[in-house]
Structure 1
Amino acid sequence: MTNNNNVVTRSSDSEQIDLIDLFVQLWRGKWIIAVFIAIAIVIAGIYLVFAKEKWTSTAIITQPDAAQIGSYSNALNILYGVNAPKLTDIQESVISRYNASFSALSQTLKNKLVPEKLTIEQTVKGQPLPLSISYVNGSAETAQKQVAQYIQQIDEQIQKEIEVDLNDNIKQQIVTLKDVLSNQETIAQEQKDLRIRQINEALKYAEAANITTPKIQQTQDVTQETMFLLGTEALQSMIAHESSRPLTLSDSYYQNKQKLLDIQKLKIDPTSIHAYRYVMKPDLPVYRDSPKRSIVLVLAVLLGGIIGSGVVLGRNALRNYNARA
């Protein structure tokens, strides 16, 4: 038992002596370590001077409010009436189009010869809105201005797309309504021609029966078969009246006519339409993304100290090896 305790004690003493010796070696080589640390700090300083800075400006947007797409919504109501999409559907549709166009722009900038980092993503994971838009640049002010410019650029693009869509829909609706009105006029003309032919047939029967004056008292009881009983004089008068009388058109005809006039007068200012609303305008970044001075300097000190310590210990180990040899 005593021997075992002595062995453990000697082993601990040996390890303690080695650890103390290690610290002594490092202390004696402190100037070498300090030189390596200084060199690492100088290199880190040079890196900080010449390294390209990165600043990120962020904006948060959401779907436009009712006022921002009011003219667009009104135009759709005029175009489609009761079949027009709801305001909430229009808001969702517009912001979805904005998101898609912005994502396309982000990919385009990423594939440039000198890539630009522009991102659009969900602010809260799992929720489609609001959207967070970020842009990285070497200057804080430039990053803020550039992200605002890209947001406005896509908004103007959406304005033009909506204007083109509306104009195409207006043209299509005008053509459709004109066709409907033309069909209704054709049907009304055919009904008028049919009425005149029916009266002419009744006139032939009246002339054949030599009936010149009405033979019935209640005209509301007259049918196609008994119309000849009105007599030739009345029938000739009816033919003249029917020929000069305007077409008898239904209420739907005039409703379609009114709708056509409204659509033909429909004009919309695309600049009054906006596809987004700011929740937070582009901020001016206070802290840059990289390089981080404090982190770089701390890493420089650590790396310089490690390399310097390695040189000191390695040099001493080499001396001891040569001495034993």
Structure 2
Amino acid sequence: MNNEIHTAENNEAVDLLDMAGQLWRGKNTIIICIVLAFLLAVAYLFLAKEKWTSNAIVNMPDSGQIANYTNSMNVLYMQNPGSAPSVVDVQNRFFNRFNALISALSEELDNQDEPEKLTIEPTVKGQPAPLKISYTAKSAAEARKTLATYLEKINQRVISELDEDLNQSINSNIVSLKDSLNAQEKVASEKRDQRLAMLNQALIVAKASKIKSPAVQQAEFQSEDTLFLLGSDALQYTIDNEKSRPLPLSDYYYQTRQTLMAISALKSKPESLYSFRYVMKPSLPIHRDSPKRALTVVLSILLGGLIGAGIVLTRNSLRTYRARS
């Protein structure tokens, strides 16, 4: 048994030595294959398009970057401050709109005749912010410049859309408040007309009853039916005074006017708004994504050597087979 194992080991050693000898004798073929593979790799590296990726990390805007919008919303909700969006709500509104638009741009670029690679992914799994945004181009400078351009483009679009929404809300509130003021003024006018009609009727009764001076001591407790007891002189004076004095408007009317004045004075400042905050600005890549020169060269040499060795061994095997047959 030991002799058989020893014989098998000797045979394997002989086979390996024989294979090494065949490879050495066919070294020229192997070298040629390596050179050809190397030249093909060099040609590939020369012709292949380079790919460079610039990365940026963005987060929700700071409170100061949306301060004008937040203040405007607080003014719009003056009459109902409990419903006004918080700073966090506004931050989410801006950043969610930015996220949706940058994602749409990524799909649009990918579906072009010449696709562009713009990727968006969360930096922390399961959290909507911050986001890592990457763009791949033919050069490092182009990748960084294009990514910065796209981010600014989306930022301006978000600001434009939300500013338009804000202006629409301002205009809508102004119209609503003016309608409310007109309605309150109309109600107050109707109340004064009703009171004048009541006083005029009492004056007619007082004159008919020939009551010129007050016939009662406490006029404030008189009902509509007994107003004539105030006398025609007092009633005439009251009517004249009622006609000349301002409309009897409630405190709510003046609160509404104050709100209208505040909203009318609102001025949107889109130039001071930002839909995101940079955690890391678009980077200038120092390593290309592809082609990998060193790796390509090493793989080409290995592949060329393997192909050359395969050719040498296959050729020798065929010769041995033909010689035996």
TM over 0.5: yes
In the alignment, which residue of structure 1 is the partner of 2:111? 111
Taking the aligned partners of 2:257 and 2:7, their CA distance within structure 1 comes to: 111
1:67 maps onto 2:64 in alignment: yes
Taking the aligned partners of 2:282 and 2:33, their CA distance within structure 1 comes to: 43
In the alignment, which residue of structure 1 is the partner of 2:102? 102
1:255 maps onto 2:255 in alignment: yes
RMSD over aligned Cα atoms: 1.2
Taking the aligned partners of 2:223 and 2:59, their CA distance within structure 1 comes to: 68
Q: CA deviation at 1:221?
A: 2.2
Deviations 1:297-322 (A, max 9, x none): 12101110110000000111111112
2:10 alignment partner, SS class? helix
In the alignment, which residue of structure 2 is the partner of 1:233? 233
Tell me which amino acid in the other structure corresponds to 1:193.
D
1:23 maps onto 2:20 in alignment: yes
Q: CA deviation at 1:218?
A: 2.2
Taking the aligned partners of 2:129 and 2:4, their CA distance within structure 1 comes to: 71
Tell me which amino acid in the other structure corresponds to 2:94.
V
1:212 alignment partner, SS class? coil
In the alignment, which residue of structure 2 is the partner of 1:7? 4
Tell me which amino acid in the other structure corresponds to 1:179.
D
Taking the aligned partners of 2:168 and 2:315, their CA distance within structure 1 comes to: 83
In the alignment, which residue of structure 2 is the partner of 1:172? 172
Question: Does the 8 Å contact 2:53/2:140 carry over to 1?
Answer: yes
Q: CA deviation at 1:6?
A: 3.2
Deviations 1:207-241 (A, max 9, x none): 23221100112233223232111001111111121
1:188 alignment partner, SS class? helix
5 Å-filtered alignment, 1:159-308, equals 159-308=159-308
Q: CA deviation at 1:259?
A: 1.3
* Matched-pair identity in %: 49
Deviations 1:4-50 (A, max 9, x none): 44333323322221122111111221221111111111110111111
Q: CA deviation at 1:128?
A: 1.1
1:58 maps onto 2:55 in alignment: yes
5 Å-filtered alignment, 1:78-157, equals 78-81=75-78, 82=81, 83-157=83-157
Deviations 1:83-141 (A, max 9, x none): 32111110011100000011111111111111111112211111111011100001000
In the alignment, which residue of structure 1 is the partner of 2:35? 38
Question: Does the 8 Å contact 2:167/2:268 carry over to 1?
Answer: no
Tell me which amino acid in the other structure corresponds to 1:228.
F
1:59 alignment partner, SS class? strand
In the alignment, which residue of structure 2 is the partner of 1:323? 323
Taking the aligned partners of 1:11 and 1:69, their CA distance within structure 2 comes to: 82
- TM-score, normalised relative to structure 2: 0.96
Q: CA deviation at 1:196?
A: 0.7
Taking the aligned partners of 2:73 and 2:137, their CA distance within structure 1 comes to: 41
Taking the aligned partners of 1:317 and 1:221, their CA distance within structure 2 comes to: 131
- TM-score, normalised relative to structure 1: 0.96
Tell me which amino acid in the other structure corresponds to 1:105.
L
Q: CA deviation at 1:265?
A: 2.0
Deviations 1:37-92 (A, max 9, x none): 11111110111111100000000010111111111111111112213211111001
Taking the aligned partners of 1:9 and 1:131, their CA distance within structure 2 comes to: 65
Taking the aligned partners of 2:278 and 2:216, their CA distance within structure 1 comes to: 80
Deviations 1:241-271 (A, max 9, x none): 1122210111111111121122222111211
For these two proteins, the number of residue pairs brought into alignment is 322
Taking the aligned partners of 2:150 and 2:7, their CA distance within structure 1 comes to: 74
Gaps of 5+ in 2: none
Taking the aligned partners of 2:47 and 2:7, their CA distance within structure 1 comes to: 55
Taking the aligned partners of 1:43 and 1:238, their CA distance within structure 2 comes to: 110
Q: CA deviation at 1:171?
A: 1.3
